[in-house]
């Protein structure tokens, strides 16, 4: 489906949607149907020496199966538990897929990427039964104060899809999309430990649609990094997570035409955070709409002095034409951490920021405050006008709940982080990711 047709089919005709769609007419997802790939060739890893005993290294078998199906077909990982002791790099390939019916469990101890797919086109990884998973047993590293490999990384992959699988307990990042184009990620659950550095989905590239995903961890939920344009992230459930973000941003930042829509965040660090410290370049034409939060430390947050990032050379990243619309719910403590916080570079003030229909209230206490600095636009503590120069901090304090802040909740909300010292169970991929929203794509297997 083309991006333009996709966005208009969602029934939201704002200027931001039109801006996202205006130049992107490339097909999203695989170009060849799953059925056609199955008909072309099947390379079952058990025919290449893999054994579903949870002990025998399936890495060489996966690589051999890929080499036979790289020009068209399906690398089939059948039901059962397959150990991965040596990591696999699958380079090249066209019109091929990985069908993950079974479970891959990490038994190796190297760093890097357990499964690394690069320079590939027309690719799909999914579970035809909707039960496939990659289990990283990250707790074995984290309990020792260490990190291990990422579970799944795509680099320079075009026209791809990742769906209907679970990524569980990664020793590092769960899913990274590095310089990828025309792809789709959907109907997934990511369950990581309650520790920083275990990102859910990190992505940069062009024409990517991430939707209907649940993430648990204590770092990035779904984050966009530079360079990126024409990115749509929607119907995301950040369930005890770090929350969604953009960054970290540094030198030569180039992000434009990004929409986050229908984002539900509970018991997390933030609902959305832009984070930079110095640097240059720009973030422009971004829309963040229909956000629901409950008991998060931070809510709406632009921090151009994010001290966890090393100061980069430059006058600061320019944040321009960013719209926040329809945010509701609660923060953890609005007097301790402002639910609305826009702190822009004094040497590069934010421009054309719009905040509308923002109604967040505090779970603790009876007051909260908003804070803006060097931020120009309309709404709340922002400065109006076209001067766009440095100015001092503006704060405002609320002593009663804003009208319309009450928001629905999601099923399955976690009330504690998951195991740093114990294994995380493989969950079932859920069927709902945002209150009242039906997933855009049906589960691949419903029987």
List residues with catalytic annotation. Answer: 219, 294
Query: Which one-letter DSSP state was computed for residue 433?
Result: S
Q: Give the largest Cα separation in the chain, rounded.
A: 69
Q: Structure tokens of 370? A: 């908003």
Question: For tokens 């990490």, what's the residue?
Answer: 106
404's tokens? 């319309």
Q: Taking the alpha carbons of 337, 339, 343, 344 in that order, is the dihedral positive or negative?
A: positive
Pairing of strands 270-276, 375-378: unpaired
Residue 245's closest CA among 283, 192, 209, 212? Answer: 283
**Dihedral in degrees, nearest 10, Cα atoms 213, 215, 220, 222:** 0
CA distances from 126 to 122, 132, 185, 230 (A): 13, 8, 10, 24
10 Å CB burial of residue 201 (0-12, 13-18, 19+) is buried
CA-based Rg of the chain, rounded to a whole angstrom? 22
Q: How many residues are given for the chain?
A: 447
Distance, in Å, from the CA atom of 261 to the CA atom of 14, rounded to the nearest integer, reads: 12
| Whole-number Å distance between alpha carbons of 10 and 441 | 12
* H or E element, residue 268: none
In angstroms, rounded to a whole number, what is the distance separating the alpha carbons of residues 381 and 372? Answer: 6
Q: Is the bond preceding residue 227 a cis peptide, omega within 30 degrees?
A: yes
DSSP readout, 90-101?
Answer: EE--EEEEEEE-
Parallel, antiparallel, or unpaired: how do β-strands 253-266 and 270-276 relate?
unpaired
Residue with tokens 């997934």: 188
């Amino acid at each position: 489906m083309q991006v333009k047709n996709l966005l208009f089919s969602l029934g939201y005709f704002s200027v931001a949607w039109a801006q996202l769609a205006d130049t992107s007419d490339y097909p999203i997802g695989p170009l060849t149907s799953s059925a056609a790939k199955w008909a072309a060739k099947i390379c079952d890893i058990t025919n290449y020496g893999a054994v579903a005993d949870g002990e025998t290294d399936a890495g060489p078998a996966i690589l051999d199966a890929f080499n036979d199906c790289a020009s068209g077909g399906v690398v089939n990982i059948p039901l059962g538990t397959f150990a991965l002791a040596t990591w696999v790099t699958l380079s090249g390939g066209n019109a091929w897929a990985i069908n993950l019916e079974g479970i891959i469990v990490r038994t190796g101890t190297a760093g890097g990427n357990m499964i690394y797919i690069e320079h590939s086109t027309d690719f799909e990884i999914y579970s035809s039964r909707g039960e496939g998973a990659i289990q990283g047993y990250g707790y074995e590293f984290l309990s020792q104060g260490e990190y291990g490999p990422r579970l799944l990384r795509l680099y320079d992959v075009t026209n791809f899809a990742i769906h209907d699988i679970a990524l569980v307990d990664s020793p590092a990042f769960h899913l990274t999309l590095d310089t990828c184009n025309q792809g789709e990620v959907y109907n997934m659950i990511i369950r990581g430990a309650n520790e920083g550095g275990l990102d859910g989905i990190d992505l940069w590239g062009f024409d990517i649609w991430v939707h209907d995903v649940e993430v648990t961890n204590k770092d990035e939920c779904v984050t966009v990094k530079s360079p990126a344009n024409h990115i749509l992230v929607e119907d995301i459930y950040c369930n005890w997570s770090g929350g969604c973000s953009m960054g970290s941003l540094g030198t030569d930042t180039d992000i434009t035409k990004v929409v986050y829509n229908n984002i539900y965040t509970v018991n997390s660090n933030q609902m959305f955070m832009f984070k930079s410290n110095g640097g240059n370049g720009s973030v422009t034409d971004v829309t963040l709409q229909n956000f629901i939060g409950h008991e998060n430390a931070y809510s709406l947050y632009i921090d151009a002095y994010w001290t966890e990032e090393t100061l980069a050379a430059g006058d600061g990243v320019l944040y321009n034409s960013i719209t926040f619309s329809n945010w509701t719910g609660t923060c953890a403590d609005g007097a301790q951490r402002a639910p609305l916080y826009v702190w822009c570079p004094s040497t590069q003030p934010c421009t054309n920021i719009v905040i509308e229909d923002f109604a967040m209230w505090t779970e603790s206490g009876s007051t909260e405050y908003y804070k803006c600095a060097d931020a120009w636009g309309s709404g709340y503590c922002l400065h109006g006008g076209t001067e766009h120069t440095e100015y001092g901090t503006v704060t405002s304090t609320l002593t009663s709940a804003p009208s319309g802040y009450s928001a629905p909740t999601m099923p399955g909300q976690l009330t504690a982080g998951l195991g740093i010292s114990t294994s995380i169970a493989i969950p079932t991929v859920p069927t709902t990711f945002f209150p009242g929203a039906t997933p855009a794509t049906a589960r691949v297997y419903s029987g």
